[in-house]
Amino acid sequence: MNTHSVQHTSLTELVVGAARRDPMALAIRGPDGTLTYGELDALANQIARCLAAMGVEPGDRVALWLDKGVRAVACMQGVLRCGAVYVPVDPMSPRHRAQACLRDCDVAAVVATTARLEQLDQLVATERCLCIDDDAGCFVAWSKLTTYSTQAIPLPPVDLDALAYILYTSGSTGTPKGVCITHRNALAFVEWAARELDVRADDRLGNHAPFHFDLSVLDLYVAFLAGAQVVIVAEGAAYSPRLLVEFIAREALTIWYSVPSVLVLMMENGGLLHPSTVLALRAIVFAGEVFPPKHLARLRQRFPSPRYLNFYGPTETNVCTFHEVRDEDLKTGLPLPIGVAASGDRVWARTAEGTAAAPGQEGELMCEGPTVMAGYWGHPPHRGVYGTGDLVRCRPDGSFDYIGRRDAMVKVRGHRIELGEIEAALIRHDGVHEAAVLVNGTGMEARIVAFIVGRDNPAPSLLQLKSHCASYVPRYMIVDEVRELSALPRTRNGKIDRLRLAELSAETPRRQVG
């Protein structure tokens, strides 16, 4: 059966269908074990029954504050089988941020380790906390799952427009925003990607992205649609270039999807380009930031056989455009285009005057179609066209070149970041009166630079502010440099003059709080 042509009504069907076709096929392997499709299906049924016994109902939100692994994936499936919505929380999140996410979407239950559950300050009743550890303390123990049947669970009727999961992204006001993704949103991308990559049951997909990052949707659900195998990169190896290269080669992966920075790290420090490195890859997909052309050219020269695809799209649309790398792309030395519409979406550039941009003109990239989110949790539903906030230039062939952001949102090491959230964290420090943050450089050279006005003399040091930020923002949002000013520069209307800050950041010698 050609699974690419099947129309699905929910994400839950993907694993159920694969288990029916070949229950003994390997589904997923990670640092905490290996599951066949039959075993994954059975465990998901037990988790769903356990959650239902806790009182989880269709539409409820269930937080998963877990390290990457097969148990985490089984929990996603269990939540979906309740008709509920899973909320993956960054496993590296400090307590304050995790609590903010859980409060924001009013979770009905939590699955986490004992240590993390104890950090929630009884945000959720203990009888609604499933502990993934052997020692559960006062929480529901993972071993309790064995008391529930593994048999197929009657799936609740799922409206394609019902929520499947919520991904929290950095918020411009200092508060994370929950991007609400429906079954329709996710399936439109998953079914398109499976067709475009021609994923088959004998493929092996590597999962590098964390589960709260939208790149992981391809790794998991495209594999499940095809009945292929997913091999999870452990948290500790995710940014160890040599371990990653060894992982890709040892596991004979056929499809790899990550941010370009990771590929560059593997090239520079992991031996990816070494003559002895042998890969089975037939597709290398990247997204999240610009792939420096000189590095991409070296990679493609060393490994000319795989397809190279540049995917583009914010979390709010998943992948809405794509471009397959061609020989002529690498002769110009210019960044790759972000390409043409994907996933059944319609995209165009809107000029400052509100008209559709013509070839050669610039404008904000707009997206309309099945992958556009349902909205932000706690805010009015989103309907119709979504403005990405990204500036693009229209090419004569109908594709687009990416120019940059039109607001304070940036990409650092593949993660989308609202600078306002970092500024809000800095200002929480008693020794900081004002703070403004910008990013210097792009790609691997990108550095988060904070300008602060201190309350005291001396101002907090870089080390002190790094330690402080670690309590409020994820690791990838911690500042790299801190510069002290007597006052932040401002425009005539009183706003912070970020252009002037950019000029100051480029000046040498740099005044830095050490």
pLDDT at 172: 55
Q: Which of 251, 248, 260, 322 is nearest to 292 (CA)?
A: 260
pLDDT (tens digit, 9 = 90+) per residue, 322-336?
999 999 999 887 889
pLDDT recorded at residue 514: 46
- Could you say which of 108, 130, 158 is where a domain stops? 158
CATH number at residue 414: 3.30.300.30
Degrees, nearest 5: CA angle 195-71-139: 145
Answer whether 78's CB lies under 8 Å from 66's CB. no
Q: What share of the chain is helix, strand, coil (3-state, %, to 5)?
A: 30, 25, 45
Rg, C-alpha atoms of the chain: 23
Vertex 31, ends 26 and 34: CA angle to 5°? 20
- What is the biggest distance separating any 2 CA atoms in the chain, rounded to whole angstroms? 71
What CA–CA distance (Å, rounded) separates 41 from 111?
A: 18
Could you give the number of structural domains in the chain?
2
In CATH, what number is assigned to the domain containing residue 97? 3.40.50.980
Q: Tally the C-alpha atoms within 13 A of residue 216's C-alpha that lie toward its C-beta.
A: 20
Picking from 158, 183, 212, the residue at the C-terminal end of a domain is 158
- Residue 222 within any structural domain of the chain: no
Residue ranges, the chain, pLDDT below 50:
509-511, 513-514
Verify cis geometry, omega within 30 degrees of 0, for the bond prior to 458. yes
- Per-residue pLDDT at 339: 97
In a domain, 165, yes or no: no
Using CA atoms, how far residue 136 sits from 48, 99, 131, 142, 289, in Å, is: 19, 20, 5, 8, 40
Q: What is the 3-state secondary structure (H, E, C) of 11-35?
A: CHHHHHHHHHHCCCCEEEEECCEEE
In this structure, is residue 154 part of a structural domain? yes
186 vs 197: CA distance, rounded Å = 16
Domain that holds residue 148: 12-158
Residue 459 pLDDT: 87
CA distance 311 to 255: 14
Residue-level pLDDT at 511: 45
Residue 479 has a pLDDT of: 95
> Is 184 part of a structural domain of the chain?
no
**Amino acid in position 238:** A
The tens digit of pLDDT for each residue in 227-251 reads 999 999 998 888 899 999 999 999 9
Measured CA to CA, the distance from residue 394 to residue 349 in angstroms comes to: 7
- Structural domain includes residue 208: no
Is residue 463 domain-resident?
Answer: yes
Domain boundary among 126, 158, 190: 158
Report how many helices (DSSP H) and strands (DSSP E) the chain contains, helices first: 14, 26
